């Protein structure tokens, strides 16, 4: 029998979604369902056998935690998956490595160039070298490049698990091994992707 969203997601995930305003809450829950379906498809098991297992560097892990690094329990044990996800402009991007070697970590990020176009962004988000790199480009090329750098930073910081606890202007991502720009298709699921979306992936073993 088909399970409902509330039966598939953990109570902590449902609570987190309900605490949001209606539209962001629905987007959050839909993304969590898509992510669970993605993980289940990769491992070839029904999504109903997964239980969300998040871990936050500040709050720890356990059934009440629905934020931080994503993961799942499968029939009670850790699902063999290094997983990451990002939501932007109504889309979710998931990345995973199945049966990862011990210590392998993944981070993925989806950005919209419009989201990085505000005064002061470069001063708080970019290193001096990155600001010089941006300044050397034609003005028309800068918005895409700014978003590309930001996606690389967030992918990296999800991969390490630190998130924005690390000051982004201290992290240089111009040429970091383990980081890739992802080429996005024009369409997915029969819908056009918004113009200006960029994505990055970080994968590294400890
Ligand atoms: C991780 C972070 C850089 C990404 O934020 P963002 O660009 O706004 O949002 P994205 O949609 O791209 O990514 C969010 C996803 O990152 C992942 N994520 C969050 N914290 C993570 C961490 N510490 N390690 C790895 N992945 C993490 C989750 O999958 C999250 O998905 P969710 O919204 O379904 O929970 C940012 O949320 C952050 O730095 N958070 C740390 C601070 C924090 O969370 N404080 C509150 C808890 S104590």
Of the residues 121, 163, 170, which should be mutated to test ligand 1's pocket, given the most ligand atoms within 8 Å of the CB? 163
88 and 75 share a domain?
A: no
Compute, in angstroms, the gap from residue 110 CA to the centroid of ligand 1. 12
Looking at the predicted structure, is the pLDDT value of residue 1 above 70?
no
- End position of a domain, from candidates 33, 55, 79: 79
pLDDT tens digits along 163-173: 999 999 999 99
Q: Print the domain residue range for 165.
A: 82-206
Cα 32 to Cα 18: distance, rounded to the nearest angstrom: 13
177 and 141 share a domain?
A: yes
Ligand 1 neighbours, Cβ below 6 Å, are: 31-32, 56-59, 67-70, 84-87, 109, 154, 157-158, 161, 163-164
More confident site: 1 or 188:
188
**pTM given for the model:** 0.94
Residues 125-149, mean pLDDT to the nearest whole number: 96
pLDDT score at 121: 93
110 and 26 share a domain?
A: no
Contacts of 40 (CB under 8 A, 6+ apart): 46, 47, 49, 50
75 and 92 share a domain?
A: no
Please give the mean pLDDT across all residues of the chain.
94
- CATH of residue 193: 3.90.470.20
Q: Which of 155, 150, 149, 145 is nearest to 178 (CA)?
A: 155
**C-alpha distance from residue 183 to each of 70, 104, 110, 187, 200 (Å):** 23, 23, 11, 12, 9
- End position of a domain, from candidates 45, 79, 113: 79
147 and 191 share a domain?
A: yes
- End position of a domain, from candidates 52, 79, 106: 79
pLDDT score at 100: 97
Compute, in angstroms, the gap from residue 3 CA to the centroid of ligand 1. 27
Q: Six-digit token pair at 27?
A: 């987007």
12 and 54 share a domain?
A: yes
pLDDT tens digits along 58-102: 999 999 999 999 999 998 899 999 999 999 999 999 999 999 999
> What are the start-end ranges of the E strands in the chain?
50-52, 55-56, 60-61, 72-74, 77-78, 81-88, 91-98, 104-112, 179-182, 187-188, 191-192, 197-205
- Domains contained in the chain, number: 2
Compute, in angstroms, the gap from residue 164 CA to the centroid of ligand 1. 8
pLDDT tens digits along 21-72: 888 999 999 999 999 999 999 999 999 999 999 999 999 999 999 999 999 9
């Amino acid at each position: 029998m088909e399970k409902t969203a509330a039966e598939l997601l953990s109570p902590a995930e449902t609570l987190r979604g309900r605490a949001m305003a209606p539209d962001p809450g629905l987007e959050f829950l839909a993304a969590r369902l898509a992510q669970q379906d993605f993980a289940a498809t990769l491992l070839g098991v029904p999504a109903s056998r997964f239980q969300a297992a998040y871990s936050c560097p500040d709050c720890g892990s356990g059934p009440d935690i629905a934020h931080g690094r994503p993961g799942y329990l499968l029939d009670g044990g850790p699902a063999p998956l290094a997983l990451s996800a990002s939501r932007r402009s109504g889309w979710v991007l998931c990345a995973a490595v199945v049966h990862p070697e011990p210590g392998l970590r993944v981070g993925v990020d989806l950005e919209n160039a419009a989201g990085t176009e505000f005064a002061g962004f470069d001063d708080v988000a970019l290193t001096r070298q990155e600001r010089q790199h941006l300044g050397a480009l034609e003005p028309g090329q800068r918005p895409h490049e700014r978003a590309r750098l930001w996606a690389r930073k967030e992918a990296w910081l999800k991969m390490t698990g630190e998130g924005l606890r690390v000051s982004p202007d201290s992290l240089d991502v111009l040429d970091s091994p383990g980081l890739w720009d992802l080429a996005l298709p024009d369409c997915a699921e029969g819908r056009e992707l918004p113009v200006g979306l960029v994505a990055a992936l970080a994968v590294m073993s400890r």
